[in-house]
Amino acid sequence: MDLFPYEPRKNQIAIIKTIKNTLAAKGNIVFESGTGSGKTICALAATLEFAIKNNKKIIYATRTNAQQRQVIVELREIRKKTKDDKDRIFGVGIQGRSNMCLLARNDPDFAKGTSEELSKICANEKKKARSSKSGKDEGCIYFRNFIEDKNKIGSALDWMRQNLPTAEESIEYCEKKKICPYELNKLLVRETPLVVVPYIYVFESAIRNTLFDWLSVSKEEMILIVDEAHNLPDYIRDLFSLQLSMWMIKSCVMEVEKYGDPSMVDGKFSVSGFCKLLIDIVGDLRDTYVYNILENGIRRGSPKKSDAFIPSHEFETEILSRLGITSKKLHDIIGDLIAYGEKIQEYRQKKGKLPRSYLHKLGLFLEFWTNLDDAQYSKLVVDAAQGKNPRIESYCLDPSIVSDVIKKFHSSIHMSGTLEPLEEYRDSMGLPKDTVLVSYPSPFPKENRKILFVRDVTTKYDEIIKDKKIIQRMQGHVSGICNTFSKNTMVFFPSFNTLSMFQRNGSFDDIKRCLYVEEQKMSQSALMDLVSEFKSCGQHGGEGAALFSVMGGRISEGMDFPAEQLEIVLIVGIPYPKPTARQRGLQRYYDLKFRKGWEYAVEAPTARKLLQSIGRLIRDENDKGVVIILDRRARRFKKYIRDLEESKDPIKDVENFIDE
């Protein structure tokens, strides 16, 4: 506890001891501790002490910039406690190039670039800056100042060591001083025991190798901390999945119209001809497997779906048969697309434009598609944008694809407020069987929270179709709670579709409170304004308001609503995953690998969404509140929500809880 800056709460000493024991044993730990229980400070205090004593580096990986800021804030508190030795307590927050590159931040075209594209721009700008002749202002001005003004760099380094800024604060400082924050961080990373990064810096190979070069130590000398770890498996799946959409292929056609349309395969067809063939094939796959349309135009079987499996080699077989070529020729075509795409990238970069080529992306996709491991991927055709942009997709089923990286660290710490079942996370991520699994109970008084459910409603589609009164009863529960209690109330729906259905049915008209509604495509700034207004309604004796949102969204994960900012939570239905082909593939994969398809692919993610939404309510020992789950299926999650009780009269039960 040498570095712990606060009076320890319940469980915090135990968490720190367990982490320290794991570090000493070079092991891995997966632990769950409720929202607001102080996981971040426990992980920092334990690992920093160990890292400093044993000359290790800590990589703290977060999903959001808000979580990254919290790490730096806690690090400052540790430094306050260690005033006599504060030079050892230091950390650097790093964000993606789109945030840290000041050229990209100030250029709308560059701001749209991928990490790879921005890296090429950066390398080219640095080259021009280094080779610029005396008196000429060439290359990136921020990098030029970095290499030319040593006094300014020395002052910036001293300022950062002294002030321990967040990533946003260091970027703002560097912009004022007109120096490159990216290069400045590279210098600081070498001397700091702690670097805080987005997930991609650890799990994308090219970016990871760059980070490790900066750190200048082996993986065995690094400790990995994964914050909000319940998000990591899906993040890995998305990172390693690839898509080829109709829109992207059409962009390839537009690209060759602009930059030239070379012939392929000994002049038998052009690049544009090949792309138009792919458009036809993707459309035909959609019609066959999603719409169930046969060659003669007759529809068969079930109505239209949103996605479907396609046979493993059907896409490339269609290419070969329609062009009358061999697999060797297709391999040559892929190589030509990549090479031509690279030429276009170089040309655009010389013109000062974003070095983007859709042909290059097409070549890389085809190369990946024809070589992927079918055991780890599902091949799908997806009908998107109301049929206007169908795509084929290689969906990664196996997040343990990154397990070899994790196992090479000295130790790894995976933590979240919602990780149960811990075995599922361990198995999904491919962690060793001897990984320490610990779930710590909530440190807050049990009597401060009440969780109820009702039996007379559900959002299960089959039951709603049979009993038209279910929706009416659901609407009655929502409007009754919202109208009866002058307290800030949040209503979570399983999806935006369900929320929209309530809105179309006129349910909002029955609510006689100030009402805020999260919209699906709302910008981050608009969302934060909405949340801020909602919070203010519950403070200083206000009349309270209602906020309608979705489980698994931006509000349900990571936002704090202390004290009167939130006192009642309504959960409308159970957020089971949609029964898509992608979801079926995931369930089948877990069945084959662990014999736990339902538990791992359906039950576990559903429970985590429920618990994340419930977790908005109680953030410290003084918070009080009540949750009502409007779905009879809530009983299935009793093992995750142990204090769950049935309510025959939710309004009366809420009144009793408030009175008590």
Q: Are strands 568-572 and 625-630 parallel, antiparallel or unpaired?
A: parallel
Longest distance between any two alpha carbons in the chain, whole Å: 84
Helix (H) or strand (E) holding 234: helix 232-239
Specify the pLDDT at position 479: 94
Q: Sheet containing 625-630: which strands, arranged edge to edge?
A: 514-517, 545-550, 489-493, 568-572, 625-630, 449-453, 644-646
* Fold of the domain built from segment(s) 242-396: Fumarase C; Chain B, domain 1 (1.10.275)
Note whether 242-396 and 446-659 share their fold.
Answer: no
pLDDT at 559 > cutoff 90? no
Residue ranges of the domains in the chain? 97-182, 242-396, 446-659
CB 235 within 8 A of CB 199: yes
Tens digits of per-residue pLDDT, 472-527? 999 999 999 999 999 999 999 999 988 998 888 887 888 988 999 999 888 888 99
Give kind and range of the element (H or E) at residue 61: strand 57-62
Q: Which two tokens stand for residue 571?
A: 């959960």
> Taking a C-beta distance cutoff of 8 angstroms, is the pair 312, 380 a contact?
no
Residue 27 or residue 293, greater confidence:
27
Residue with tokens 């030429």: 343
Phi, psi of 385 (to 5 degrees): 55, 50
pLDDT tens-digit readout, 326-356: 999 999 999 999 999 999 999 999 988 999 9
Contacts of 251 (CB under 8 A, 6+ apart): 358
**Do the Cβ atoms of 342 and 357 come closer than 8 Å?**
yes
Phi, psi (degrees; rounded to nearest 5) at 32 = -115, 130
Please report which confidence band the pLDDT of residue 297 belongs to, taking 50, 70 and 90 as the band edges: low
Task: Find the distance separating the first CA and the last CA of the chain, reported in whole Å.
Answer: 37
Taking alpha carbons only, the member of 3, 590, 552 closest to residue 228 is 552
CATH number belonging to domain 97-182: 1.10.30
pLDDT digits (tens, 9 = 90+) for 645-655: 999 999 999 99
DSSP track, 494-560:
S-HHHHHHHHHTTGGGG--SEEEE--TT--HHHHHHHHHHHHHHTSTT---EEEEEETTSTTTTT--
Task: Please give the backbone phi and psi of residue 521, each rounded to the nearest 5 degrees, phi first.
Answer: -105, 25
What pLDDT shows up at residue 103? 87
What CATH architecture is 446-659? 3-Layer(aba) Sandwich (3.40)
Question: Where on the phi/psi map is residue 245: left (φ > 0), alpha (ψ -120 to 50), or beta?
Answer: beta
With a pLDDT cut of 70, the percent of the chain lying above it is 97
Question: In 3D, which of 553, 483, 484 has the Cα closest to residue 517?
Answer: 553
Over range 173-182, report the average pLDDT. Answer: 93
Burial class (CB in 10 A: 0-12, 13-18, 19+), 546: buried
Average pLDDT, the chain: 91
Q: What is the pLDDT of residues 89-111, one digit of tens each?
A: 999 999 888 888 998 888 888 88
The region, left, alpha or beta by phi > 0 then psi within -120 to 50, assigned to residue 190 is alpha
- Going by C-beta distance under 8 Å and a sequence separation of 6 or more, which residues neighbour residue 7? none
The answer to whether 146 and 184 are in contact (CB under 8 A) is yes
| pLDDT tier, 542 (very low <50, low <70, confident <90, very high otherwise) | confident
Look at residue 450 and tell me whether its pLDDT is greater than 70: yes
Distance CA 460, CA 494 (A): 11
CA-based nearest residue to 384, from 375, 393, 371: 393
Q: Which secondary structure element, helix H or strand E, spans residue 185, and what is its range?
A: helix 181-189
Judged against a pLDDT cut of 60, whether residue 134 lies above it is answered with no
Indicate the pLDDT class of residue 300, thresholds 50, 70 and 90.
Answer: low
Tell me the residue ranges of DSSP E strands in 587-636.
625-630
Residue 424: name the closest of 410, 435, 440, 413 by CA.
435
For the segment 548-568, the average pLDDT, to the nearest whole number, is: 88
Residue 427: band (very low, low, confident or very high) from pLDDT cuts 50, 70, 90 = very high
Instruction: Say if residue 5 is preceded by a cis peptide, omega within 30 of 0.
Output: no
